[in-house]
Chains A and B, each alone.
Chain A
């Protein structure tokens, strides 16, 4: 079998390509270099390039991480199967009319998003959690590192991810200048949602009159090929991001205040400085070369999910568990379908619970290691790229 792999700078490329080769698939790679403002939707020129490549390689299917309308169009034109696996959230291109093409096999890591699209009439969309190559990650050892590098990776509690505090990234800033009532209403939604996991109400709170008012200030345009609602866009891009920003910032200040005097807490992030007294801000980590060591060197690895992911397990969680790191995560429903809380991972329900559980597991090393080991073994066996590839191919070629 031949695969045409549309390769952009995605996480997981090398793991999945290796899995394809192990499965005896000939992998042809086409650079799908996308700059942040490249048009990957109704871009005729790009579609033509893909079509030419298809004609040359004559693959059995095309693959990309995340879903791109332009690839769907090329595949539709050539009657080729397009397998995509989306792990970014929110990801507005899923709401392109091209998603209805019967050449698509859309795999989506967030069960809620998957159900939502099914309800919109998308037939060939399937829930597929992310994965980790635990075998490859297991070969990495802190002993590979120099002492100075090891120092960077060692700590008691760490979080790897954005704080969304950079001015150019934080969409909430675009709401500056909206009227006071609207400002209060949006802040009210944010504050309410911050208190609750497992029940998402941001979108349902954006009533038509509220959207109408927001549009007066922001005037979002819908894509020509898009069927996403304005509610969905405001909820997932603007407001969920702000909830995430505030939540992560509050977690960091709570850690600084409650645990920082006693324990070493690190934040690995590209974000603007938080300037909290007891948080070591380490800057960003390279996903392939450094991140696994950080997960291995940390006693408690936090996952604080972006709030646009309503039920799904973020990739970070798989990476942590695949490195045999101990995972302490916010509550996310999809975990319960794949793992056992308290056995493979631990979840918290609010910030004081997070602090309490961090303290507990810092003091109970054996229990912590046992949980990390159990999570690691489960990921190695059931959540590797070979298993996932098999699932995708079975569905696409059944």
Chain B
């Protein structure tokens, strides 16, 4: 089978390509210029994809995340477009092209899938993310030079963003907005911060607040989209501000009692307690961080309502001990306190950090059990087989649950 892969610098792209090949796919790689071209309805780009399809005659087109240009090209050529989404929020999912019957869109967040299904999207499927355990197995922490070992070894670590970067600077995004809106948004964020498993950032936005935000920000409805403004404000602005507050609070507070290493591109200047080790190369260095930490934190961005973020699979797949916020879909695949541990409040988090730092054996046992489960059920090979099954209806179901 031939597949046209639209490639950009997405996480896990090499693992996906390898798994596609293992499943007998012949790959034609096309660089996908998502940074500097219009990927929503760019005619040039669509034409180039169509030309490539006509020339190479693939059986389907594949990309990580979903791009309307690719959907249009595939619809034109009447071949399946397979998109596997790991980013969230992903506004392109709310493009009208999502309804095309040539689409096979796989998304890791079940509640997102259900929402789109309810909106009438037929070609959307729920598929959790995966980990490349075989690749991680070859990362030998003990074999690292001493200075690297020291850098990656920690009691507690977190790899991620504080969303303080200039282009993502949503912390100060609302500076200067009217006092009423400011008060409303503050209250909403404080309320949501303390509640897991029930997301109300979007539904609690009143008409008055949406109107105020519309007047203040330059985010407005897109030509091609059917997303609501409340959805965009809640998921792009409020979740990031919440993440900034939540993550800085957790890291600052834990740092006062424990050794916490924060691997990030973000500026943490405002938070004197946080020990910022700068960015890590996610593919080359990430596994060492996960292996070298006694406790790996996962603090999910709240736009992901029920799904399991990639970080979780990478931590568990590398054999690291995972302490995560409560996230519904974790319970579908893993057993809490056996494969991983979750917290549901700040005080619960502190209690559990304290406990698991003192109980080495239990921690190691949980990490190992989580790793075994990921290795058995959540590899890229398995996911690609699941995808091909759904698209081409193969007999061997690849273990779809």
Contacts and interface: CB of A to CB of B under 8 A. Distances in A.
Given A195-B200, A199-B198, A204-B194, A188 B187 contact: yes
Contact of A188 (B178, B186, B195, B198): B186
Given A193-B191, A199-B198, A205-B187, A183 B203 contact: no
Nearest to A178: B183
Interface in B82-140: none
B217 interface: no
A189 B185 CA distance: 9
A185 B188 CA distance: 8
Of B184, B186, B188, B194, most buried by chain A (CB within 10 Å of CB) is: B184
A194 B204 CA distance: 8
B252 interface: no
A196 interface: yes
B369 interface: no
A180 interface: yes
A181 B191 contact: no
B183 A188 contact: yes
Nearest to B177: A184
B43 interface: no
B206 interface: yes
Contacts of B258: none
A205 B187 CA distance: 7
A186 interface: yes
Nearest to A184: B183
B179 to A, nearest CB: 4
Interface string A35-58: 000000000000000000000000
B22 interface: no
A184 B180 contact: yes
A79 interface: no
A179 interface: yes
Contacts of A191: 184, 188, 204-206
Interface residues of B, number: 22
Given A185-B184, A192-B200, A195-B200, A180 B179 contact: yes
Given A180-B178, A193-B191, A204-B194, A188 B203 contact: no
Contacts of A196: 195, 198, 200
A188 B190 CA distance: 10
Contacts of B222: none
B182 A181 contact: yes
A188 B194 contact: no
B179 A192 contact: no
A220 to B, nearest CB: 20
Interface in B161-186: 178-186
Of A179, A180, A183, A194, most buried by chain B (CB within 10 Å of CB) is: A180
A7 to B, nearest CB: 43
A182 B192 CA distance: 18
A227 interface: no
Contacts of A185: 183-184, 186-187
A181 B200 CA distance: 21
Interface of A: 179-189, 191-196, 199, 201, 204-205
30 contacts: A180-B178, A180-B180, A180-B183, A181-B179, A181-B182, A182-B183, A183-B183, A184-B179, A184-B181, A184-B183, A184-B186, A184-B187, A185-B187, A186-B187, A187-B180, A187-B183, A187-B184, A187-B206, A188-B183, A188-B184, A188-B185, A188-B187, A192-B188, A195-B203, A195-B204, A196-B198, A201-B195, A204-B194, A205-B187, A205-B191
The 5 lowest CB-CB distance pairs between A and B, nearest first, are: A184-B183, A188-B187, A185-B183, A195-B200, A180-B179
Interface of B: 178-188, 190-192, 194-195, 198, 200, 203-206
Given A187-B206, A188-B204, A205-B190, 9 more contacts: A180-B180, A181-B180, A184-B181, A184-B185, A184-B187, A189-B191, A195-B200, A195-B203, A201-B195
